[in-house]
């Protein structure tokens, strides 16, 4: 459970968790998000676990927040973009030597 006296953003560990929290907080009271976010992060502790899951699995956890279909798609798409950006930053030199790997 998250502490009620701190903002959601003060209780997360990294940029990806921050973005998940922001998507959940959109049009939703922070108390609702504080009740759901720990469960979400337990089920999906990192970006890889989200992209390996089905969107319906994300929807199931965030359903109490409302707009769960839209939020689940946004969380999934943001996570894919997050991983692509991280990959681009870590392997930018590799593109020079092996560009065909990255054609998608």
- pLDDT, one tens digit per residue, over 4-26 is 776 666 766 788 998 999 999 99
Average pLDDT over all residues of the chain: 82
Between these two residues, 99 and 32, which has the higher pLDDT value? 32
Within the chain, what is the greatest distance between any pair of CA atoms? 51
Lowest mean pLDDT segment, chosen from 47-56, 58-67, 77-86, 88-97: 88-97
What fold is seen in the domain 8-102? Endonuclease III; domain 1 (1.10.340)
Is the pLDDT reported for residue 72 higher than 80?
Answer: yes
Is the pLDDT reported for residue 48 higher than 60?
Answer: yes
pLDDT range class, residue 61, cuts 50, 70, 90: very high
For the chain, state the CA radius of gyration: 16
Domain range annotation of the chain: 8-102
Q: Residue 51's closest CA among 27, 26, 86, 25?
A: 86
């Amino acid at each position: 459970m998250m502490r009620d006296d701190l903002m959601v953003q003060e209780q997360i560990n990294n940029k990806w968790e921050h973005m998940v929290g922001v998507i959940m907080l959109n049009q939703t009271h922070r108390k609702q998000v504080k009740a759901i976010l720990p469960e979400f992060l337990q089920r999906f502790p990192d970006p890889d676990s989200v992209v390996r899951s089905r969107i319906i699995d994300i929807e199931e956890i965030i359903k109490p927040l409302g707009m769960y279909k839209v939020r689940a798609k946004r969380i999934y798409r943001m996570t894919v973009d997050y991983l692509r950006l991280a990959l681009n930053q870590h392997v930018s030199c590799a593109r020079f030597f092996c560009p065909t790997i990255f054609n998608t």
